[in-house]
Structure 1
Amino acid sequence: MLKFLSRPAVRLVERYLPDPYIFVLLLTIIAAAAAIAVERQNPLLVMRYWGDGFWSLLTFSMQMLLVLVTGFMLANTPPVKRLLQRLASLAKNAGGAIILVTLVSLVASWINWGFGLVVGALFAKELARQIRVDYRLLIASAYSGFIVWHGGLAGSIPLTIATDGHFTVDRIGVIGTGSTIFSFFNLAIVACLFIVVPLVNRLMLPDEQESVYVDPTLLDDTPEPVGHISRPAEYLENSHILAWLVGIPGLLFLLDHFLLRGGGLNLNIVNFLFLSLAIVLHRTPRRLLDSLHEAIKGGAGIVIQFPFYAGIMAIMIESGLAETLSEGFVSFATSDTLPFWSFISAGVVNMFVPSGGGQWAVQAPVMLPAAEALGADITRVAMAVAWGDAWTNLLQPFWALPVLAIAGLKAKDIMGFCLIQLFITGVVIALGLTYF
C-alpha cells in the first residue's frame, strides 16, 4: 500500500515542488502578505522587519556550511571511508540498504542533529556505491532520520528550559532533561519512530523498473594522487608533521572539553571535531584542501537561502503573525488536547521559522500561559512544540540542503517519499504526546 501511495506523492512533488530557492522566495512573499493582511502591518514596517532581520542568521549560516564541509572532508579520509565501506557491506540487498541507512541516520540525529545530517547522507552515498538501490529513496531515508533530533540529546527546546537563567525561568523554573528528553512519553515516541520510520522507508521501495539508480563511478570523490614534489612550498603542503601539529592539539582540546570541563555537544563542537579529525586523518594539508575543494561545491544553497529564512523569521516574529498562528490553535484546546494542538501549531510555524530555538522564543509566551490556565502538563507542551518543529522538516527543504548538497540531488527528488513519512510520523508523534 505504501509503495502504491508513494508513487503519486513522488510524481506530485517532482512536478510541483520548486527549487528550494524558489520555495524560500514564495515563503517570503506569503509571510509579508500575511503580516499586512492579518496583522494590519504597514508595508513599510514589514519591509523593515525583513531587511533588519535578513542577516541575523549569519553565524548559524556559517555553522551549517561548516557542517557540510567538515563532515564531507572527514568522510573523505581513508580510515573513515574504510569504516563506511565495512558498515555498508552489512546490507546485502536494496531493502537492507534502506533500513540500515535509516537506522544510522536516526541514531546519529538523536545524538546530534548536525552529526546526523552529514553522517546519514555520506553513509547513503557509500551504500549507493556498493548496492543497486533507488538513489532517491536512499537519500530520503537518510534525511528522514532527522525527525528525532528535537527529542534527542541536542534538542534545543529541552536543553533551553534545562539551563539556569533561560528566558522563561520565572514562569516555569528550570526543568531537567529527566522530565523532557528522558521522560517516558518522549522515549516511547523515539522508540516507536525507530521502528516505524525504517519500516515505512522499506515499504516504499519502488519496483526495479520504477527505480532511479546512480552510476557508482559518479559518486567517487577520491582525491588525485600527489605528483612529484619539487618546491619547498609543496613540501609544506604535503607535510604530515605540519598537519599533526595542528590537528592533534585540536583533539586534545576536545578531550579537555568533554572529560575535564564536562562540556556537551553543540554545533561548534561538532564542527571542531569533524575538522580536527579530518586534519589528522588526511595526514597532509594538500589532501585536506583537495577534499575541501570538492566539499564546497554543494554549499551554494546554504549561502544564498539562509538569509532569506532569517528575514522570514523576522517578519513572523516582529509582526506578531507567529503568535497569532499559535493563539489560533490554542484557542480551542483543552488540558488534554493542548499538547496535540501545540504540536500542530509548531509544525505550521516551523514552515516559516525553521529554527528550534527561534520557534520556542515565539511560541513559549503563548503556550506556557495556556498550559497554566488549562492545567496542562508544561513539560509535555514544551516537547510538543519541539516535536512539531522537527516534524515538518520532512516537508521544509531548509534542513535538507546539506544532505542534498552531499548527495547531488534536488529537493523534488526526495520530498515525495518524505511526504508519506510526514503523515505517518505525524500520527505516531501526536498519539504519543496525547496518550503515552
Structure 2
Amino acid sequence: MVNAIAKFFTNLVNRFLPDPLVFAILLTIITFVLGIAMTPNSPLDMVKLWGDGFWNLLGFAMQMALVLVTGHALASSAPIKKGMTKLASIAKTPAQGVMLVTFMSAVACIINWGFGLVVGAMFAREVARRIPKSDYRLLIASAYIGFLTWHGGLSASIPLVAATKGNPMEKICGLIPISSTIFTPYNIFITVALIITLPFLTRMMMPKESEVVAVDPALLQDEVAVTKVVGKDATWAERIEESRLLAFVVGGFGIVYLGMYFLQKGFDINVNTVNLIFLTVGILLHKTPMAYARAITAATRGTSGILIQFPFYAGIQIMMEHSGLGGIITNWFVHIATKETFPIMAFFSSALINFAVPSGGGHWVIQGPFVMPAAQALGSDLGKAAMAIAYGEAWMNMAQPFWALPALAIAGLGVRDIMGYCVTALLFSGIIFVVGLHFF
C-alpha cells in the first residue's frame, strides 16, 4: 500500500510541481493576493512590504551556502570518504541501504539540522555507489525525510529561542525552559517514534525492481583530485599555497576558539558553529589551503538555488508577517480550538504557514504573538504550544522544497525526483505528531 501511495504522489508531483524557483514565485503571488483580500493593505502596500523584505535573508542565505560548500568539502576529504564508505558497507541490499540512510539522517538531524541535511545527502550518495541497484531518487528522499526529526532535537530553533532571554515572546508568556519542550515525554515519544518508524516507511516505498531509477554514473563520479604535488622547481608562491603549516595554523585557531566557545556556552550548536566546525576539520583533512580551496570551488556549483530563491522567501515572509496575514490564518485555527485540541490546531496552522514561511524562527515571530496568549487563556501547556508550532514547521517541510535545496544540490537531482516520497512521509508521520501532541 505504501509503495502504491508513493507511486501515486510521485506521478502527481512529476506532473504538477514546478521548479522550486517557479514555486517560490507562485507563492509570492498567492501571498500578495491574499494580503490584499484579507487585510487592509493595498496592492502598493504589499509591493512595498515585498521589496523592503526581499534582501532580509542575505545573511541566512550566506550561512546556508556555507553549510552546503563546507559540508561538501569536508565530505570530499579522503578520511571522511573512507569513513562513509565503511559505514555504507553495513548495507548489503537496496532495502537495507534505504533504511540505513533514513536512520543516519534522522539521528544526524537531531544532533544538528544543518549537519544532518548535508551528511545525509552525502551518505546517500555513498550508499548508491556501493549498491548500484538502489533507486537513487528514494535514497536522496530518505536523507531528506530524516529531516523530520530536527525540531525535536538539540538545534531546534523555536524551543531554544523560547528559552532565551530577550526573545519576542518573553514579555507575553515568560521564558519556556527546554525541560518543558525538548526534554518532555511527548517530544521524546515523537522523536524516538520517527527514528524507529521512518526507516521502515522508506523501505515500504521501494519501487518494484522493474521501476527502479538507477543513478546516472556521472553523478557519482569522484571529485577531481584537489591535492597538488609541488615540484622542486616550484616558486615560493606555489610552495606557500600548498603549505601544510598554514592549514594547521588556521585549523588550530578554529579548534581553540571552538573549545573556548563550548566551555563558555555548553552544547550550544548553531549554524555558525556548524560551519566553523566543517571549515576547521575540512581544511585540516585536506592538509593545504589550496587543496581546500579547490574542494570548495567544486562544491559551489550547487549553491545557485539557495542564492536565487532565498530572497523570494524573504519577501514572502515580510508580506505574511507585516501585513497581518499570518496572524489572521493563525487566529482562525486558534479560535476554533479547545484546551484539548489547541496543540493540534496550532500544529496545523503552523504547517499551513510553512508554505510561505519555511523557517522555524520566522514561525515564532509570526505565530507566537497569537498562539502563546491563546494557550495561556485556554490553560494549555505553553511548552507544548511552542512545540506544536515547531512540529508543524518540520512536518510541512516534506511538501515545501525550500530545505531540500542543499540535499538536491549535493545529489544532482531536481525537486520532482524526491517530493512524491516526501509527501508520502508527510502523511504517515503526521499520525505520530498528532498522537504525541494529543495523548502525551
Query: One fold, TM greater than 0.5?
Result: yes
C-alpha displacement at 1:166, in angstroms? 2.2
- C-alpha spacing 1:238/1:392, structure 2 compared with 1 (3 Å): same
C-alpha displacement at 1:153, in angstroms? 0.7
Structure 2 counterpart of 1:20: 20
Q: Residues 264-303 of structure 1 correspond to what in structure 2 (within 5 A)? A: 264-303=268-307
Structure 1 counterpart of 2:228: 226
- 1:242 pairs with one of 243, 246, 252: 246
- Kept after mapping to 2: 8 A contact 1:112/1:149: yes
3-state SS of paired residue (1:400): helix
Structure 1 counterpart of 2:11: 11
Distance in 2 separating the partners of 1:217 and 1:20: 23
- Kept after mapping to 2: 8 A contact 1:372/1:378: yes
Structure 2 gaps, min length 5: none
3-state SS of paired residue (1:154): coil
Structure 1 counterpart of 2:122: 122
- Kept after mapping to 2: 8 A contact 1:128/1:216: no
Distance in 1 separating the partners of 2:418 and 2:48: 35
Structure 2 counterpart of 1:62: 62
3-state SS of paired residue (1:306): helix
Structure 1 residues 24-68: Cα deviation after superposition (integer angstroms, max 9, x where no partner)? 000000000110111142111100000000011111000000000
- Kept after mapping to 2: 8 A contact 1:223/1:287: no
Structure 1 residues 63-93: Cα deviation after superposition (integer angstroms, max 9, x where no partner)? 0000000000000111101100000001111
Structure 2 counterpart of 1:193: 194
Distance in 1 separating the partners of 2:403 and 2:154: 18
**Match status 1:153 vs 2:154:** yes
Distance in 2 separating the partners of 1:428 and 1:167: 29
Structure 1 counterpart of 2:428: 424
Further displaced range: 187-196 or 409-418: 187-196
Structure 2 counterpart of 1:380: 384
C-alpha displacement at 1:405, in angstroms? 0.3
Distance in 1 separating the partners of 2:240 and 2:416: 44
Matched-pair identity in %: 49
Structure 2 counterpart of 1:435: 439
Structure 1 counterpart of 2:319: 315
Match for 1:46: what amino acid? Answer: M
Structure 1 counterpart of 2:79: 79
Match for 1:87: what amino acid? Answer: L
Structure 1 residues 133-192: Cα deviation after superposition (integer angstroms, max 9, x where no partner)? 000000000000111111111111111111123222233222211110010011001111
C-alpha displacement at 1:218, in angstroms? 3.4
Structure 1 residues 169-225: Cα deviation after superposition (integer angstroms, max 9, x where no partner)? 233222211110010011001111112211110000111110111144531233335
Match for 2:342: what amino acid? Answer: L
Distance in 2 separating the partners of 1:162 and 1:254: 23
Distance in 1 separating the partners of 2:28 and 2:3: 34
Distance in 1 separating the partners of 2:216 and 2:38: 50
Further displaced range: 77-86 or 253-262: 253-262
**Match status 1:357 vs 2:361:** yes
- Kept after mapping to 2: 8 A contact 1:101/1:142: yes
- C-alpha spacing 1:355/1:140, structure 2 compared with 1 (3 Å): same
Distance in 2 separating the partners of 1:136 and 1:63: 27
Structure 1 counterpart of 2:35: 35
C-alpha displacement at 1:286, in angstroms? 2.2
Structure 1 residues 326-352: Cα deviation after superposition (integer angstroms, max 9, x where no partner)? 011111110000000000000000110
Distance in 1 separating the partners of 2:387 and 2:316: 24
Structure 2 counterpart of 1:404: 408
Distance in 2 separating the partners of 1:178 and 1:64: 29
C-alpha displacement at 1:264, in angstroms? 1.1
The count of corresponding residues between Structure 1 and Structure 2 is 436
Structure 1 counterpart of 2:111: 111
Distance in 2 separating the partners of 1:99 and 1:396: 23
Q: Superposition RMSD on alpha carbons, in Å?
A: 1.2
Structure 2 counterpart of 1:176: 177
TM-score (ref. length: structure 1): 0.98
Distance in 2 separating the partners of 1:193 and 1:257: 31
- Kept after mapping to 2: 8 A contact 1:243/1:280: yes
Distance in 1 separating the partners of 2:146 and 2:157: 17
Structure 1 gaps, min length 5: none
Further displaced range: 248-257 or 58-67: 248-257
TM-score (ref. length: structure 2): 0.97
- C-alpha spacing 1:409/1:217, structure 2 compared with 1 (3 Å): closer
Match for 2:353: what amino acid? Answer: V
Structure 1 residues 259-308: Cα deviation after superposition (integer angstroms, max 9, x where no partner)? 35535100000000000111100001222122112100000000000000
- C-alpha spacing 1:262/1:432, structure 2 compared with 1 (3 Å): closer
Distance in 2 separating the partners of 1:245 and 1:32: 51
- Kept after mapping to 2: 8 A contact 1:102/1:142: yes
Distance in 2 separating the partners of 1:427 and 1:262: 34
Match for 2:15: what amino acid? Answer: R
Structure 1 residues 107-156: Cα deviation after superposition (integer angstroms, max 9, x where no partner)? 11011111110010011111111112000000000000111111111111
Distance in 1 separating the partners of 2:166 and 2:290: 46
Match for 1:176: what amino acid? Answer: P
Distance in 2 separating the partners of 1:181 and 1:61: 27
- Kept after mapping to 1: 8 A contact 2:194/2:432: yes
Distance in 2 separating the partners of 1:383 and 1:391: 12
